[in-house]
Amino acid sequence: GAVVSQHPSWVICKSGTSVKIECRSLDFQATTMFWYRQFPKQSLMLMATSNEGSKATYEQGVEKDKFLINHASLTLSTLTVTSAHPEDSSFYICSARVSRESGYNEQFFGPGTRLTVL
């Protein structure tokens, strides 16, 4: 099956610093990738949809200037949390969409990145 990797797996940073998270599709090309955030004991919350070669589409309530998304190639999307604060501590998960010949779209998830802001 399709494999999606994320780097780093976990990161601890000081408040006010920026953190970049990479999401790669290893054995397929993904024109669309998604970024999710998950707080403890809650479901996945979609943050933004990343389309290769164009600007990301952000969900309501997600600050585009704080969560910078770049999808420069068909296998790589990056999420940069700028000026991180403790409330940004969360589990960030990316996924890549694959369109099947049957017509349905399936998402493959990366392993997630645990961000802790001190």
Give, as one character, the DSSP assignment of residue 94. E
Residue 5 or 82 with smaller CB distance to other proteins: 5
For other proteins, which is the closer residue by CB, 54 or 105?
105
Please state, in angstroms and rounded to a whole number, the distance separating the CA atoms of residues 30 and 51. Answer: 9
- Nearest approach in angstroms of CB 30 to other proteins is 14
CB of 86 to other proteins, least distance (A): 19
Using alpha carbons, select from 2, 1, 11 the residue that is nearest to residue 112.
11
Residue 53 CA to chain centroid, in angstroms?
Answer: 16
> What SS3 state is found at 88?
helix
Choose between 13 and 44: whose C-beta lies nearer to other proteins. Answer: 44
> Structure tokens of 41?
């004991």
Q: What is the phi/psi pair of residue 110, to 5°?
A: -75, 170
| Whether 105 contacts 28, CB under 8 Å | no
Smallest distance, Å, CB 16 to other proteins?
26
Work out how close the CB of 93 gets to other proteins at its nearest, in angstroms, rounded to a whole number.
5
Q: Given the rule CB under 8 A, which residues bind other proteins?
A: 34, 42-46, 49, 91, 93, 104-112, 114
- Closer to other proteins by Cβ: residue 45 or 74: 45
